[in-house]
Amino acid sequence: MPFCQTSKANIYFEIIGTGIPIIMLHGFTPDHRLMKGCMEPIFLEQEGWKRIYFDLPGMGKTTNYSSIQNSDEMLEVVHEFIQAMIPDESYLLVGESYGGYLARGIMRTSAERLLGAAFICPLIVPEKEQRTVPEHCVVSSDHAFLATLSQQELEDFQSNQVVLDAYNWKRYTTEILVGCSIADHAFLEKIQQSYGFSFAVDEQSFAKPALFLLGRQDSVVGYEDAFMILKKYPRATFAIVDSAGHNLQIEQPELFTNLTSEWLDRVEAEQGRHNQNDKK
User: pLDDT tens-digit profile of 57-114?
Assistant: 999 999 999 999 999 999 999 999 999 999 989 999 999 999 999 999 999 988 899 9
Cα separations (Å) of 44 from 40, 47, 49, 186, 254?
7, 8, 11, 38, 14
Distance (Å, rounded) from C-alpha 215 to C-alpha 249? Answer: 9
User: Which burial class, exposed, middle or buried, applies to 244 when counting CB atoms under 10 A from its CB (0-12, 13-18, 19+)?
Assistant: buried
**Crossing angle of the two packed helices 71-85 and 98-110, in degrees rounded to 10:** 60
Distance (Å, rounded) from C-alpha 267 to C-alpha 116? Answer: 6
Q: Give the pLDDT confidence score for residue 277 in this predicted structure.
A: 56
Determine phi and psi for 96, rounding to 5 degrees. Answer: -110, 130
Q: Give the pLDDT confidence score for residue 22 in this predicted structure.
A: 98
Q: Is the pTM of this model over 0.75?
A: yes
Average pLDDT, the chain: 95
Cα separations (Å) of 230 from 108, 110, 227, 236?
16, 19, 5, 8
Closest to 65 in 3D by CA, of 194, 190, 198: 190
Residue 63 identity: T
Cβ contacts of 22 within 8 Å, gap of 6 or more: 39, 49, 50, 51, 52, 91, 92, 93, 94
Q: Give the pLDDT confidence score for residue 271 in this predicted structure.
A: 83
Residue 14 β-bridge partners: 53
Distance (Å, rounded) from C-alpha 252 to C-alpha 15? Answer: 26
Q: Regarding beta strands 3-5 and 10-16, do their DSSP bridges make them parallel or antiparallel, or are they unpaired?
A: antiparallel
- Mean pLDDT, residues 40-46 taken together: 93
Confidence of residue 186 (pLDDT cuts 50, 70, 90): very high
Helix (H, G, I), strand (E, B) or coil at 3: strand
Helix (H, G, I), strand (E, B) or coil at 240: strand
Q: Give the pLDDT confidence score for residue 70 in this predicted structure.
A: 98
Q: Give the pLDDT confidence score for residue 1 in this predicted structure.
A: 78
Closest to 103 in 3D by CA, of 131, 79, 69: 79
Residue 5 β-bridge partners: 10
